[in-house]
Amino acid sequence: MADALVVAEHRRGELREVSYEAITAGRALADARGGDLHVAVVAGDVDGFAEDMNREGVDAIHAVPNGEEFDHTVYQAAVGALVDRLDAGSVVVPNSVNGLDYAPALAEDLGVPIVTDAIGIDYDDGLTVTREMYGSKVETTVDVAGDRFVVTVRGGEWAPAEGVGDAPVETTEIDLPESRARVTGFEEIGGGDVDIADADVLVSVGRGIGEEENLELVEELADALGATLSASRPIVDNGWLPKNRQVGQSGKVVTPDVYIAIGISGAVQHVAGMKGSDTIVAINTDPNAPIFDIADYGIVGDLFDVVPALIAEFE
């Protein structure tokens, strides 16, 4: 039971970035246990997904061509069948809405422990998982008993697997139960098809903006930088920007190349969603604002003075 199985995640025909990060986490587990790394792609364009997931470090890929989109019943049964066939001891699943939908049921079927929302994994004669608690104020470690387990990994905590692999791809026929649910379509919510999690540069605004009409100034900076506009929770709660623009524990986890925090104090809930950014720039009038503790560059000043100067510089 040394092999590890990573389950890819896709939505609307595209693999999610966390799938490649899960390969990195799974490879480390397989190495620590002296086994191989297998990857499962379930439903949708499995041939295309298998090609994309064939990264360095992957030993074998299993394609299960059942359905088009995520289905709890299909994923639970397909992944469970693969675990049994491979005698896999470690199952790595993205810590997402879909992953958290079927992973607990999978663990129950297998009779193994599950640890969710992992930000770190170590294996040395046993699994130790690092997690955050109390609004990301503290980190805890969880020791997991037994040789088999399911773990869900948080996006943005591992480097995505790179390089082109040469793993064989096997189309796996599995006798799956008939699902009682199916995806009939998708409906866009406010904000269109913008996904801040995919942005390379984010300009994020907080309550320091004062009034809704002042958002126009920050939007000008985002346009000058070719960036995407995002926000902390107060802006979304006020209805000034849609929910899909929210960064933080109750929003989205983002890992852009550059994250510019404007008028954001740096509450732990917000920091939990953006601390993995490569470069963090903070603009705030309060020199003691917590955001400066994690910022690579800090500007203590009035955003209404600083932002226009930045716009003039980058236009």
DSSP-derived secondary structure for 145-161: -SS-EEEEE-TTSSPPP
pLDDT of the residue at 32 = 92
Q: What would the mean pLDDT of 153-169 be, rounded to a whole number?
A: 90
Tell me the CA distances in angstroms from 11 to 80, 256, 307, one per residue in order: 21, 20, 36
Average pLDDT over all residues of the chain? 90
Q: What would the mean pLDDT of 299-309 be, rounded to a whole number?
A: 94
pLDDT band at 132 (very low <50, low <70, confident <90, very high): confident
pLDDT of the residue at 188 = 58
pLDDT of the residue at 193 = 58
Top-confidence residue, 258 or 197: 258
Q: Which of 105, 95, 110, 131 is nearest to 9 (CA)?
A: 95
How do residues 109-125 score in pLDDT, each as one tens digit? 999 999 999 999 999 88
pLDDT > 60? residue 304: yes
Q: 3-state DSSP call for residue 280?
A: strand
**Residue 297 is encoded by which pair of tokens?**
């560059």
Q: What would the mean pLDDT of 234-245 be, rounded to a whole number?
A: 91
pLDDT band at 1 (very low <50, low <70, confident <90, very high): low
pLDDT > 60? residue 295: yes
pLDDT > 70? residue 314: yes
pLDDT > 60? residue 191: no
pLDDT > 80? residue 187: no
Contact 156, 148 (CB under 8 A): no
pTM for this prediction: 0.71
pLDDT > 90? residue 78: yes
Contact 118, 152 (CB under 8 A): yes
pLDDT of the residue at 307 = 94
